[in-house]
Amino acid sequence: MVSSLNGGFPQQISDRIEGFSLGSAFLLHSRESGALLSSNDFGRDIYDALRARLNLPEIADEIARQNGFERSDVEPLVSDVVQQWQAAGLFLQDMCPFVDPVPYRVPVTDISHTYCFGNRYVVLRCENPKLSKQVAACLRIYAAGPLSSPDDGETALLDVIAEDGEYGVFRDRVPVWGRAPHDLTRYHIIRECMDHICTPARVAAHLHAAAVAQGGQALILAGGSGQGKTTLSLGLLASGCQQAADDHVAVAVDGTNMLAFPAVSSVKRGAWNLPWVQSLDPGGSAETASPRNGVRFVRPPRTVPAATPLPVSAFVFPDYAEGAENSCSLLDPAQALTQLIQTGGRVSRRNPSLAPLVALLDRVPSYYLRYGSTDYSVETCQSLLAR
């Protein structure tokens, strides 16, 4: 790839690579391969020169002239950076292949589940009955009634194929990921349901996050499993907020809003005795009735209708630890993006640009919330929503 760039930077490559300034970082993203890199001012200069169709010797000349350096000193540095970008997949013309793909076949099952919102339907065919029940517990507010007909609307077909104890997920026979274990497969299924119900053309990115709303504003609680986002969202629901999403958040293509996707909350054993969980689930859903061991499914008392656009007031990255000192600190937008990507965030396949998510992170603040007091976390989030 480096040798081919010596003759110029092809139009089709420059058009598919995006460059963004976000906080203290400069980011490069390929719409084709999905590669995402963080660089610095030197990388920004190279990117700008490549966009101007300069070849590598010309780039070295330009950067040396602008900074008063010798061209012979700059040229190997430029070549090294471009080689690093190439190795990271930035110049690939296709999506990086899934690791350990599962070949498609028609699922061997007589059972299917249909979910819908308005005239948008998802039909799920899954070869693992337990996995199907877990998804059904999370999405029961979207369960199609007996008179619903997927033929009357826009329908997506999700097939889940078992192979060697793991699974492949296909949407309309196209793989959405490679071979994955049980819990990650459940995450992929619900994410694809969210994308279709919110309408793919409106979705820019999928985030591993919960969200609550109050006064028409949304607060996104982001992070990996076990960080406390669902428990904190339940505390905010008990204080009067609406649920806008549980575990899956859709960022809108306008770079300003999220799209609501409420769902039943999966509450882990350690949070069952919290006062607000008790208030939302007074009957104490029996663990024996749950399709997931150690998890209770709590239906939110108030929700924002699915696919409703909501302006975002802030991102919060909760981190609960028993006995921890309470603190809430501002995060650099680039740090927030790194956290979102590392915990499962991704751009949509229909709209593969990172620009809407970058615009949202650049526009609204992000906070790292470390706490040992659940009351502190709820009060802090309420104050952020009220701003």
Domain limits of the chain? 2-87, 112-197, 204-386
204-386 to CATH, choices 1.20.120, 1.25.40, 3.40.50, 3.40.1620: 3.40.50
Work out the average pLDDT over 232-242. Answer: 94
The rounded distance, in Å, linking the Cα atoms of 76 and 52 is 20
Residue 142 has pLDDT above 60, yes or no: yes
| Average pLDDT taken over every residue of the chain | 89
- Is residue 148 very low, low, confident or very high in pLDDT (cuts 50, 70, 90)? low
* Per-residue model confidence as pLDDT tens digits over 73-129: 999 999 999 999 989 989 888 877 787 899 999 999 998 999 999 999 999 999 999
The rounded distance, in Å, linking the Cα atoms of 310 and 258 is 5
| CA distances from residue 19 to 10, 30, 79, 324 in whole angstroms, order as listed | 16, 9, 19, 38
The rounded distance, in Å, linking the Cα atoms of 316 and 276 is 20
Q: What is the pTM of this model?
A: 0.90
Residue 184 has pLDDT above 70, yes or no: yes
